[in-house]
């Protein structure tokens, strides 16, 4: 049976998470957490770095003139940029 970890609620409503838990989750000082009340108890989750978006929220947001690029054009552009970066690192 795994070790049962405990903590105490302070008079200011603060809870210290045991170091073993913080280390396992890689939660460091300053980590922002979402707090949810669930039927099983309180759930803590790290706050996502970015707000959740849906494709329809961002689709078509960037205006572009001209015809769409083909997959071959995109592949050529990626290859050209990779070569440019490689030359920069080598030189």
Domain range annotation of the chain: 14-51
In sequence order, the β-bridge partners of residue 42 are: 37
Cβ burial 6-41 (10 Å sphere, 16+ → b, else e): eeeeeeeeeeeeeeeeeeeeeeeeeeeeeeeeeeee
| Alpha carbon distance 79, 19 (integer Å) | 46
DSSP 40: T
pTM here is 0.51
pLDDT (tens digit per residue) in 43-81 = 999 998 888 888 877 777 677 788 888 999 999 999 999
| CATH classification (class only), 14-51 | mainly beta
The CA angle 61-67-70, to the nearest 5 degrees, is 95
């Amino acid at each position: 049976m795994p070790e049962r970890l405990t903590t105490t609620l302070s008079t200011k409503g603060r809870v210290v998470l045991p170091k073993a838990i913080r280390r396992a989750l890689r939660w460091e000082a300053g980590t922002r957490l979402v707090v949810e009340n669930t039927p099983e108890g309180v759930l803590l989750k790290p706050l996502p770095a970015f707000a959740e978006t849906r494709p329809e929220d961002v689709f078509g947001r960037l205006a572009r003139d001209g015809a769409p690029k083909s997959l071959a054009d995109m592949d050529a552009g990626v290859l050209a940029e990779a070569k440019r970066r490689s030359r920069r690192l080598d030189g």
